[in-house]
Amino acid sequence: MAVEIGGIGHSVKRKEDARFIRGRGNYVDDVKLPGMLYLDIARSPYAHARIKSIDTSKALAIPGVLAVITGKDLVPLKLEWMPTLMSDRQMVLPTDTVLYQAQEVAAVVATERYIAADGVAAIEVDYEPLPVVVDPIKALQPGATLVREDREQKDNHIWHWEVGDKAGTDKAFKDAEVVVKQDIYIPRIHVSSIETCGMVASFDKVNGKLTVWMTTQAPHAIRTVIALVAGHLGLSEERIRVISPDIGGGFGGKVPVYPGYVLAIGASVLTGHPVKWIEDRSENIQADSFARDYHITAELAAKKDGTMQALRVKTVADHGAFDAAANPSKYPAGLFHIITGSYPFAKSFVEVDGAYTNKPPGGIAYRCSFRVTEAAFTIERLVDVLALEIKKDPAELRMQNFIPPTAFPYTSSLGWEYDSGDYGRALKLAMDKIGYADLRKEQAAKRAKGELMGIGISSFTEIVGAGPSKHFDILGIKMFDSCEIRVHPTGKAMVRLGVKSQGQGHETTFAQIVAEELGLPVGDIAVEEGDTDTAPYGLGTYASRSTPVAGGATAIAARKIREKAKLIAAHLLEASPDDIEWKDYKFQVKGVPAKSKTMQEIAFAAYTNHPQGMEAGLEAVDYYDPPNLTFPFGSYICVVDIDRGTGEVKVRRFVAVDDCGVIINPMIVEGQIHGGLTMGLAPALYEQITYDDDGNIQGGNFMDYLLPTAMETPSWETGKTTTPSPHHPIGAKGVGESATVGAPAAIANAVVDALAHLGVRHIDIPITPWKVQKILKEKGVAE
């Protein structure tokens, strides 16, 4: 029976893949409308410059170029600035100064994509270069080049944020037997989704209705933002329809609003034609929101035997020219204060300072729940630094310190209430799977022969599912989520949600939740997301929040339907509702299996034979405000071999044991973990965006930005433990980001472990062959 239903726990094949693998997906660039025009963007070659003049005459002379839009054209429309998600403001187009290389300077609207590009090439801008600051530490020093002249505050400091017990933590450090301290830089990287950003904006002048097809992870919030920003132009929320069609990867990069979106809407309103804007790859990497870029100094205080006592962390966060991070309003450094991780620090204190620099804006939550990757990397690296200091095996040190399973719900010294966990069980399973004891023996033997082999552990704790609305909002919009279910007379169902899949398989997993709750086969349940005209309001998909929040809404909406269905069943079975029970995916008279009604029979009756006095139909909606976040966790172990000559790091084995509570679809979760691990390998060994002193980007295309492919990716080995969330309606926690959060520290720890006997304590990621070879040369290992 259960197999036919395909409910929770079944590896149902992804429903959406039928169209994806046949090339029948419908992405923004697939949208083609009659009379559609194309928009392309001219960008700044300078990181900081005064615009003396913009000459658009040659561009306008090209046949097919219909308009060129500059910042000055946007002033009368009050659209030259737009709000960011972090209550800062960002230029749509500059009126006098550009603040980073690749910043949007002007837009060309033309009848063909290629003509628009010719128009961009023909725009002549006279720039006066200005001094540039790219290092956030220097940017915060007195007398540094001022990035934001438009602000009243005449320095580059954005905000200071702190949490924890400063005095208590300082005292714990003063009294501590052992203190370790480590500077850690988590470099700027980019999500680099397969699909770049884009929009088709279509303004219907007659009806005053704007329809946009857009690469957005949060269509409802975007609709509200458009109404707030462009309401004065007559764009009113009930006449705005945001459609987020199939999306080729978001990973947090498709949460912010980019100037291109605003320009496409403006161009459509101006011309009355549909306008398409699609970024190319370099524009995507060079100008769209970046991730990470945290300069961290972390200290850990412990007893000589390794008992961890206190944690102190100071961070400078580089936000580029505008604070366009996608964090909940209350938390400018995201959920960085999950940094106490899997350990019961009695005292801790964290402070973060945001800085402006002449670099693109961002600080997005790249496949992590708002700065959780930065936090997990730091604590898991620091634990290994302590292990080296006190000469203790890093697995043993972790086992000694983990928050015990009996301590949950556990309130951390930085204020989070962890819902459930069993960290020792996960690490033990990972150690057994990989054969930890044997690997340590092999390492010792290899070391004796001069070979370089390392073993690294990461026992991370995540925090996902924003959020309880009392703490979480974005631009004031509370972070709940929603689900609406309609069961049709023939027993088929339509499920609509406020979240939006970008490849995670929601059409399958949310159908499985409904299947489980209502006893309808998963194949009979259609799931729709991403159309603000049809789906209930929600905050969208990022930060692994879909299952914790919309998953809760789905289960509860289904349960509301089941409540009503029970009354109809009682009516049909001529029994009291008290005598009816839900068993084997059917309602039956208690103890009389022969007297039962399926959900299909009940659905038909809901429209044809419902009890008098009851409303017809079988549908429900739920707006779910979770009581708490969920805290998935895992233990990862990585084995690396290092080439003594070239410094190349090879990941020989990688075992990932994850715990995301109750699993809806094991195959999808496995896929999420595989993809996430590759996205964790990437910053550990390959990816980084750097800038020279003039603010020129180095790594702004796939020739220079090494995105790992199947060639670089090892064969991942996975395992699981199941510790349900006690407060989630189906016991599930999020999982989409766990592997990206947990993997980098395991890899970095393995590399440092391979070199520890040479006196190496830390290497900043990405750990490139060049960096390792340099160390090996310094230590006299490599020639």
Q: How far is the CB of 374 from ligand CDP (least distance, A)?
A: 19
Cα–Cα dist 185/114, whole Å:
41
Nearer to ligand CDP, 358 or 501 (CB): 501
Is residue 192 a contact point for ligand CDP (CB under 6 A)? no
Q: Are 238 and 302 in contact (CB under 8 A)?
A: no
Looking at the Cβ atoms of 434 and 673, the one nearer to ligand CDP is 673
CA angle 291, 472, 353 (to 5 degrees): 45
Rounded CA separation 322/356 (Å): 7
Q: Which is nearer to ligand CDP, 108 or 556 (CB)?
A: 556
Q: Which stretch binds ligand CDP (CB under 6 A): 111-119, 206-214, 317-325, 543-551?
A: 543-551
Using a 10 angstrom Cβ sphere, with 0-12 exposed, 13-18 middle and 19 or more buried, the burial of residue 692 is exposed
| Residue among 39 and 669 whose Cβ is closer to ligand CDP | 669
Instruction: Say whether residue 544 binds ligand CDP (CB under 6 A).
Output: yes
Q: How far is the CB of 541 from ligand CDP (least distance, A)?
A: 4
* Binding residue (CB under 6 A) for ligand CDP from 660, 743, 745, 754: 660
Order of all β-strands in the sheet with 198-204? 65-70, 104-110, 37-43, 275-278, 198-204, 209-214, 240-243
User: Cα-flanking dihedrals φ and ψ of residue 570, to 5°?
Assistant: -60, -40
Report the residue number, 626 or 736, with the smaller CB distance to ligand CDP. Answer: 736
Q: Closest CB to ligand CDP among 38 and 480?
A: 480
Other CB atoms closer than 10 Å to residue 562's CB: what's the count?
19
CB-nearer residue toward ligand CDP: 602 or 660: 660
Determine, following the binding rule CB under 6 A, whether residue 373 of this chain makes contact with ligand CDP.
no
Window contacting ligand CDP (CB under 6 A); options: 128-136, 146-154, 421-429, 658-666: 658-666
Nearer to ligand CDP, 147 or 732 (CB): 732
Q: Any contact of residue 136 with ligand CDP (CB under 6 A)?
A: no
Contact 253, 15 (CB under 8 A): no
- Residue 416: CB minimum distance to ligand CDP, A: 18
* Of residues 37 and 730, the one with the C-beta less far from ligand CDP: 730
Residues 369, 544 contacting (CB under 8 angstroms): yes
Q: Examine residue 355 and tell whether it contacts ligand CDP (CB under 6 A).
A: no
Among 539, 735, 741, 781, binds ligand CDP (CB under 6 A): 735
* Beta carbon nearer to ligand CDP, 202 or 544: 544
Q: Which is nearer to ligand CDP, 136 or 742 (CB)?
A: 742
CB of 450 to ligand CDP, least distance (A): 44
Residue 217 among the catalytic residues: yes
* 664 counts as binding ligand CDP under rule CB under 6 A: yes
Minimum CB–partner distance for residue 499 and ligand CDP (Å): 6
Distance CA 547, CA 239 (A): 30
- Nearest approach in angstroms of CB 540 to ligand CDP is 9
Q: Residue 190, interface with ligand CDP (CB under 6 A)? A: no
Do the strands 347-355 and 586-589 form a parallel or antiparallel pair, or are they unpaired?
unpaired
**Closest C-alpha among 198, 225, 221, 223 to residue 210:** 223
DSSP 267: H
- For 95, the 3-state DSSP assignment is coil
Q: Is 482 in the site for ligand CDP (CB under 6 A)?
A: no
Residues forming beta bridges with residue 312, ordered by sequence position: 299, 349
Is 661 a residue that touches ligand CDP (CB under 6 A)?
Answer: yes
Q: How far is the CB of 420 from ligand CDP (least distance, A)?
A: 13
Per rule CB under 6 A, is residue 677 in the interface with ligand CDP?
A: no
Q: Is 367 a catalytic residue?
A: yes
Q: Which of 16, 638, 737, 773 is catalytic?
A: 737
Say how many C-beta atoms besides its own lie within 10 A of residue 510's C-beta: 30
Which one of residues 736, 742, 744, 766 is an interface residue with ligand CDP (CB under 6 A)?
A: 736
Please provide residue 122's backbone torsions phi and psi, each rounded to the nearest 5 degrees.
-90, -5
Sheet with 294-302, side-by-side order of all strands: 157-164, 347-355, 308-318, 294-302, 178-186
- Distance of alpha carbon 360 from alpha carbon 319, whole angstroms: 8
From the list 35-43, 428-436, 648-656, 661-669, the region that binds ligand CDP by CB under 6 A is 661-669
# residues contacting ligand CDP (CB under 6 A): 23
Question: Can residue 723 be called a binding residue for ligand CDP (CB under 6 A)?
Answer: no
Residues 16, 530: Cα–Cα separation, whole Å: 14
776 part of the interface to ligand CDP, by CB under 6 A: no
- Stretch near ligand CDP under the rule CB under 6 A, chosen from 236-244, 369-377, 667-675, 713-721: 667-675
Is residue 665 near ligand CDP by the rule CB under 6 A? yes
Tell me: does residue 630 bind ligand CDP (CB under 6 A): no
Amino acid at 346: A
> Which range, of 377-385, 498-506, 563-571, 594-602, touches ligand CDP by CB under 6 A?
498-506
The C-alpha atoms of residue 776 and residue 758 are separated, in whole angstroms, by 9
The correct pick among 348, 369, 541, 749 for binding ligand CDP (CB under 6 A) is 541
Whether residue 379 contacts residue 365, with contact meaning beta carbons closer than 8 Å, is answered with: no
Q: Which of residues 500-529 bind ligand CDP (CB under 6 A)?
A: 504-506, 509
Residue 400 a catalytic site member: no
The total of other beta-carbon atoms located within 10 Å of residue 397's CB is 23
Q: Is 188 a catalytic residue?
A: no
Q: Taking contact as CB under 6 A, which single stretch among the options 199-207, 233-241, 427-435, 544-552 is the one that binds ligand CDP?
A: 544-552
- Check binding of 546 to ligand CDP (CB under 6 A): yes
Containing H/E element for 347? strand 347-355
Name which of 88 and 516 has its Cβ closer to ligand CDP.
Answer: 516
Contacts of 192 (CB under 8 A, 6+ apart): 284, 285, 702, 705, 707
481-487 and 89-91 beta bridge pairing:
unpaired
Regarding 216 and contact with ligand CDP (CB under 6 A), the answer is no
- DSSP string for 276-288: EEE--HHHHHHHS
The residue whose two tokens read 């390959």 is: 686
Select which of 188, 367, 371, 496 is catalytic.
367
Binding of residue 734 to ligand CDP (CB under 6 A): yes
Could you tell me the strand order of the sheet in which 592-597 lies?
580-583, 586-589, 592-597
Choosing from 80, 104, 312, 368, the catalytic residue is 368
Residue (250 or 695) nearer to ligand CDP, CB? 250
Sign of the four-CA dihedral 77, 78, 81, 86: negative
Q: How far apart are CA 558 and CA 514, in angstroms?
A: 6
CA dihedral sign of residues 186, 192, 193, 194: negative
Residue pair 274/213 in contact by the 8 Å Cβ criterion? no
State how far the Cα of 236 lies from the Cα of 227, in Å rounded to an integer: 5
CB of 251 to ligand CDP, least distance (A): 9
720 touches ligand CDP (CB under 6 A)? no
Which listed residue (169, 342, 443, 547) binds ligand CDP by CB under 6 A? 547
Q: What is the dihedral of CA 215, 216, 219, 221, to 10 degrees?
A: -140
Minimum separation from the CB atom of position 546 to ligand CDP (A) = 3
Q: Which of 300, 497, 732, 751 lies at the binding interface for ligand CDP (CB under 6 A)?
A: 732
Distances, alpha carbon 468 to alpha carbons 155, 478, 603, 625, 655, in Å: 35, 8, 34, 6, 33
CB 568 within 8 A of CB 606: yes
CB of 255 to ligand CDP, least distance (A): 12
Q: How many residues does the chain have?
A: 783
420 forms part of the interface with ligand CDP (CB under 6 A): no
Residue from 90, 101, 217, 773 carrying the catalytic annotation: 217
Using CB under 6 A as the criterion, which residues of the chain lie in contact with ligand CDP when the complex forms?
504-506, 509, 541, 544-547, 660-665, 668-669, 672, 732-736
Question: Which residues are marked as active site?
Answer: 217, 367-368, 737
